[in-house]
Amino acid sequence: MRYLTITEEGTFLGLSGSLLQVKHNKKIISELPLSRLRLVAVARRGVTLSSSLVLACALRGIRIFFLDWRGRAVAMLGGSHQHATVAVRQNQFRFTETGPVPALAATIIIGKLRNQRSVLLYFSKYLSKSSNSESEELKKAARQILIHINRLKSVDWCRHSSWRSEIMGIEGASATLYWKSISLARLFPPSFTGRQGRNASEITNQMLNYGYTLLTSLVWSALDNTGLEPFSGILHQNRPGRPSLVLDLMEIFRPWVVDRNVIKLRKKAEKASQLDHSLKRLLAAAIHETVEKKLPWRNKRLRLDTIIQRQAYQLSGAIAGGKNFKPYSFKW
């Protein structure tokens, strides 16, 4: 296990030699080698950590994220041994002022839409064995999203002064198709009537929001390794407390890493009215399993977390002006 998410109040995280110990009610729940751990997410209040563990994690480059009651990552503990340099951030700030930001923003959204199509076609293939009408509903939405992708590819966005609102408008139209088709195909519980963000009371939206929070931590850690400033965005506008660049890059991975796993947990969601500890643990385990799975990458097979890290470095290269950025596309 490379990723640890703590969701239960009263948990204690300590250090025993080179092992991270997880205790509850003074009983050892699990022990994890620090040599294999990359990230710890604390998703509940009332969790305590030893200073020895914090120091050991910092020395090994293991980041510890703290999530608030809404599931947002609001704090991160990391070591001083960063790969960041002044030049990387200078390039980034220069790029956001004078570089081809609109073209890069459109490329990111193209990547997201392609992966939304992959999710729809993935489940369409599965449903074709039992319900042809629901399968066709997903295929229809996938075809319509392809039209939006081609629209994004055909425009020179650097010539459009209102490029951000136009690109977000296309992304919003695709999202409407995407969520509607998933609902019509009954891939979500009947309680799902539309996408809701913060303070959602419906179980499916709560799961999606929680899953995106876990993905935020993974992408944030990858960007931190590149030395880029996570709060200076490309597509998402800068606001106090918003890690805009993290939100930009994670758009590409939302559909496959989070949406697909929430759909797979549909039966569990139907039996729950709220996102409780057990359901959080199931969703976190599914997401962690996904990011640890090996997938195709340039004639190789790499773990998805490694692919996310390489995408972060590619984004850094594009911002520096030397490379093209190609979003990762999942194969269905």
The CATH number linked to 23 is: 3.100.10.20
Asked if 17 and 94 sit in the same domain, the reply is: no
Residues 214, 264: one domain? yes
pLDDT of residue 84: 59
| Contact predicate 210/283, CB 8 Å | yes
Task: Pull the structure tokens for residue 136.
Answer: 């066709």
Residues 21 and 123 in one domain: no
Domains of the chain: total: 2
**Together in a domain, 154 and 16:** no
Query: Given 58, 77, 96, which residue is the final one in a domain?
Result: 77
- What digits encode the pLDDT tens for the residues 173-216? 999 999 999 999 999 999 999 998 878 889 999 999 999 999 99
Kindly state whether residues 26 and 97 are assigned to the same domain: no
Domain boundary among 43, 77, 111: 77
* 255 and 314 within one domain: yes
Whether 247 maps to a domain, the answer reads yes
Query: What's phi and psi for 233, nearest 5 deg?
Result: -95, 175
Q: Are residues 244 and 124 in the same domain?
A: yes
Amino acid at 191: S
Same domain, 14 and 44: yes
pLDDT score of 229: 92
Residue closest to 174 by CA, chosen among 211, 136, 143: 143
Same-domain status, 172 and 299: yes
Identify whether residues 131 and 27 lie together within a single domain: no
Rounded average pLDDT over 37-49: 89
- State if pTM tops 0.85: yes
Q: Is 328 inside a domain boundary? A: no
Tell me if 59 is assigned to some domain: yes
Q: pLDDT at position 82, please?
A: 60
- Residue 330 inside a domain? The answer is no
For the residues 119-131, what does the mean pLDDT come to?
89
The per-residue pLDDT for range 50-80, each reduced to its tens digit, is 999 999 998 888 889 998 876 677 888 887 6
Residue 253: which residues within 8 A CB-CB, separation 6 or more?
115, 215, 219, 308, 328
Structural domain span for residue 36: 3-77
Residue 142 covered by a domain = yes
For 298, left (φ over 0), alpha (ψ -120 to 50), or beta?
A: left
Tell me the per-residue pLDDT of 107-120, one tens digit each, with 9 for 90 and over. Answer: 999 999 999 999 99
**pLDDT over 80 at 279, yes or no:** yes
- Tell me how far CA of residue 156 lies from CA of 109, 146, 153, 189, 252, in angstroms: 14, 18, 8, 40, 21
Q: What is the CATH number of the domain that holds 185?
A: 1.20.120.920
Are 247 and 197 in contact by the 8 Å Cβ rule? The answer is: no
pLDDT, tens digit, 9 for 90 and up, residues 212-231 = 999 999 999 999 889 899 99
Give the whole-number percent of the chain exceeding pLDDT 90: 70
* Domain match, 110 and 244 both: yes
Task: Note the pLDDT of residue 153.
Answer: 96
13 inside domain: yes
Domain end position, chosen among 30, 54, 77: 77
305 within a domain of the structure (yes/no):
yes
Specify the pLDDT at position 182: 96
Q: Has residue 104 been placed in a domain?
A: yes
Whether residue 108 is found in the same domain as residue 57: no
